Amino acid sequence: MTGRPAGPRLRETLSNPRADRVKRVRALAGRSARERSGLLLVEGPQSVREAVRFAPERIRDIYVTDGARVAHPEIVDEALEAGLYVHPVTDEVAAALSGDAQGVTAVLTRDPDAGLESLPAAPSQVLVLSNVRDPGNAGAAIRVADAAGADAVVLAGDCVDVDSPKVIRSTAGSLFHLPVLRGGPLGDVVDALRKRGVAVLAADVSGQRELGQATSSLVAESHAWVMGNEAWGLSAEELALVDEAVRIPIRGRAESLNLATATAVCLYARVLG
């Protein structure tokens, strides 16, 4: 798992679910194992396919069952063409590697350049997630940012670990399409964005203006959206850091929108004009 042996790229079938290699891969579901090894676990055909296409240099090994090879031949074909190591595995080994991978699992190196220094020099739109704790919410928001054409996603404060298999699976491969950066405290993120000429907006019910025609000039320029924690939103201290808080209009009786939906509404304000 930690190095590529010489020889054919398609390896021998792994059949022992109790093998040390299998245990090491399975352990990557835990944060401590990821931090010790510098590796991460990618589960499922969609995420592995996108990793092969957009981050092949980070892939150490791919594990695939016979059934998955038949269902998703493009993953193996593209991986072998890229010179990656593909390990056929039995169904028992696949289940031991991951309980939710549909027969396709990969081990990647963690992204070493995932800090604020990797922010684009002149981004048009950035998503900032502040203290977002739920893996599914974080992954869905990253997927929305990818779909809306954002230049980067920054995780600020005490956010969920972006290398968590649950986050990666929730992005449906979008994690490999755009920079997803670890930003530290929100104040540091805001400072880095302002140095790049980016206006920093927050989606919050306290906003004096509603998102819509009144704010079209704001989203026409280079800007970032800050989205707060799923349960309590943005604190007064966090709101004090941004240039303006903008509220999303709610015309019905719903109290609020979930994180991914609110993110989509804000990011698509630019896309839809």
What are the tens digits of pLDDT across the range 25-53?
Answer: 999 999 999 999 999 999 999 999 999 99
Per-residue confidence at 273, pLDDT binned at 50, 70, 90?
low
Report the predicted TM-score, pTM, of the whole model to 2 decimal places.
0.91
Q: What is the per-residue burial (b if ≥16 Cβ within 10 Å, else e) of 95-132? A: ebbbeebbbbbbbbeebeebebeebeeebebbbbbbbb
Per residue in 166-190, pLDDT (tens digit) is 999 999 999 999 999 999 999 999 9
The one-letter code for the residue type at 183 is: G
Q: Are 9 and 80 in contact (CB under 8 A)?
A: yes
Q: Which amino acid is it at 173? A: G
SS3 128: strand
- The answer to whether 155 and 162 are in contact (CB under 8 A) is yes
Q: How many CB atoms lie within 10 A of CB 66?
A: 14
Q: Where in the chain is the domain with CATH 3.30.1330.30?
A: 20-109
Instruction: Provide the CATH number for the domain formed by 116-271 in this structure.
Output: 3.40.1280.10
Question: Is 144's pLDDT higher than 80?
Answer: yes
Q: How confident is the model at residue 11 (pLDDT cuts 50, 70, 90)?
A: confident
Task: Indicate the burial class of 175 (C-beta count within 10 angstroms; 0-12, 13-18, 19 or more).
Answer: buried
Q: What is the pLDDT, as a whole number, of residue 179? A: 94
Write down the pLDDT at residue 6: 41
Q: Where in the chain is the domain with CATH 3.40.1280.10?
A: 116-271
- State the burial class of residue 272 (Cβ atoms within 10 Å of its Cβ: 0-12, 13-18, 19+): exposed
Host H or E run for residue 77: helix 73-81
Amino acid at 263: T
119-123, 136-140, 269-273, range with the lowest pLDDT: 269-273
20-109 has which fold? 60s Ribosomal Protein L30; Chain: A; (3.30.1330)
Question: Per mean pLDDT, which range of 66-70, 106-110, 220-224, 233-237 is the poorest?
Answer: 220-224
CA distance 72 to 75: 6
